[in-house]
Structures are given as structure tokens and as C-alpha cells.
Amino acid sequence: MNIFTLELRMHLRSTIIWTVALLLLVAGFAFGFPVIRQNVAAMNGVLQMMPEGLKKSLGLNVIDLSQPIGVMGFLFMYITLVAAVQAMSLGLSVLSVELRDKTADFLLSKPVKRITIVHAKLAAAITCILSTNLIFAIVARVALDLLSTKPYPLSLFLALVLSVLFIQLFFVSLGALVSVFLSRMKTVIPLALGVVFGFFIVNLLNESLRARPLTPFSPFAYFSTGTLFSHQGFAYLWVGVNFLLVAAFVTGTYLRYLRKDMPSV
């Protein structure tokens, strides 16, 4: 069995779990929207009493809760948070599992180049992420089509679902980079949660500030609800920044892994 296939099998269970978590959020949106639509006037009254900074941080200043796409925008923050934790956990584990299981010397003793190992492992990680995003996008589109009584901007929907993918690419590449600089890591979840929530808090703070000065320091800010709904799509400057960072993280991962001394058992 080649490395790519083995990695897919190793991460299949976690991928299914995280995909189900995203689908549960979509299900909550589908079942909750009729209730929200019936009580939208009361909800708008509550929103008017909220501080402007809090509304901006939640994206409530630019979305229409009477429309399904608006409610999905409200849930978008939580969708990207779950997706980011999945990607960060995957990135941290994909190149460090042999170190945690103390089998790195066994893998590297095989007639396979290190660069081939990185190729296969990152390809498996990206395949897991793409699978999650494809299922999420299909289910979200079906839910929107069933709930919408009038057309919604397709460009906005595509921006929402692609933003989940782009944020995941940021975190999986960052996780891989971090993992190759750590010699020992017993479990990845605490570190993944810490990193993701750190960026998430930066974005919440950024949304509450005038001119959003902290935008460069959080991928959540590149694809915030306010940005996507205000532009009815992407702010392409930040899409470019996101991909430049992904490229830098991946390059750093390769350079470090190819030169890293692997401890033997």
C-alpha cells in the first residue's frame, strides 16, 4: 500500500467526523430558518439594542436574517471555526504521526525519498479537505434552494463555500509547517484549538475596530461575513494574501522536513 492511500485510510474516520459536524451546522440552519423568519421582527429589535461593535464582529450589520443566505452568513463564522480546527489538526498530524508513534525511523528506512513522503502526505491531507468541502457545498446548496423563495446571489454563495476551503488550506499548511519544527507532540487537538482560537479572537477584535487594522493577522478576517456580504463576493486582495501565505507555509514545510533529523527509537 502506498503512502497516499495509507494516509487516506488513517484520516478517514476523523474526516467523516468533521464533515458530519459541518453538516450538523447546515441542518441547524435548515431547521432553524423557518423559526427565524417567523420572528424576524423581534430579532431585528434585539439587534438594534446590541452595541455596534458587537454587531460588526458577528457580521450582523450587513446580513438580512429574513433570507436564507443571510442566516447562512450568520452561521458562517461558526462553520469556518469548525473547518479551521479540522484543517489545523490534520496539518499538525499528517507529518508528525510517525514521531508520535515512534515509527519515523522505520518509514525513512524504506526506499522512498523524503520529498515523496511529503508529496503523498500533503496530497492526502488536501484530498480529505476537498472531500469535506465538496459534501458541505452540495448539502448547503440543496438547503438554500429548498428554503429560498426568491433567487439569491450565486456569487455570494460560491464565496461563502470557497472561503471555507481557502481558510482550511491556510490552516492545514500552517499546521504542517508547525509540526515539522516540533520534535515531540503527544496530541494535536490542544495545539490546534489554541492556534485557531487565537486567530479567531484576533478577527473578532478586528471587526470591532474602525478600519479593521488587524486584518493582515487573521485568515478569518480575509473572509469575514462583513467582507463577503459587503462585496457580494471576495475581496481579492486578501484572497491573494491567503494563497501567498499558503505557498510560504508549504515551502517552509518542505525545506524543514527534508533537512530535519528524525529521532530513532
State the average pLDDT for the chain.
Answer: 86
State the maximum Cα–Cα separation within the chain, in Å, rounded to a whole number: 67
Q: What is the pLDDT of residue 108?
A: 56
> pLDDT tens-digit profile of 238-258?
999 999 999 999 999 999 988
7 with 94: CB under 8 angstroms?
Answer: yes
> pLDDT tens-digit profile of 99-152?
665 555 555 556 678 888 899 999 999 999 999 999 999 999 999 999 888 888
| Confidence at 264, pLDDT banded by 50, 70, 90 | low
Q: What is the pLDDT of residue 216?
A: 94
Q: What is the pLDDT of residue 129?
A: 97
Composition of the chain by helix, strand, coil, percent to 5: 80, 0, 20
Q: What is the pLDDT of residue 125?
A: 96
What's the residue count for the chain? 265
112 with 3: CB under 8 angstroms?
Answer: yes
Judge whether residue 1 has pLDDT over 70. no
Q: What is the pLDDT of residue 55?
A: 65
Selection from 84, 95, 96 nearest residue 18 by Cα = 84
Close Cβ partners of 151 (under 8 Å, ≥ 6 residues apart): none
Range with the lowest mean pLDDT among 11-15, 82-86, 111-115?
Answer: 111-115
Q: What is the pLDDT of residue 174?
A: 97
184 with 98: CB under 8 angstroms?
Answer: no
Average of pLDDT values for 43-66?
69
132 with 18: CB under 8 angstroms?
Answer: yes
Q: What is the pTM of this model?
A: 0.90
Q: What is the pLDDT of residue 162?
A: 96
Judge whether residue 43 has pLDDT over 80. no
168 with 87: CB under 8 angstroms?
Answer: yes
Q: What is the pLDDT of residue 262?
A: 63
Q: What is the pLDDT of residue 232?
A: 85
State the Cα–Cα distance between residues 92 and 42, nearest whole angstrom. 44
State the Cα–Cα distance between residues 54 and 57, nearest whole angstrom. 5
For the chain, the domains span: 3-259
Average of pLDDT values for 185-205?
91
User: CB-side exposure of 66: number of CA atoms within 13 Å?
Assistant: 5
Q: What is the pLDDT of residue 103?
A: 54
Residue 184: other Cβ atoms inside 10 A: 9
249 with 181: CB under 8 angstroms?
Answer: no
Give Cα 63 distance to the centre of its chain: 21
The cell 431585528 sits on which residue? Answer: 44
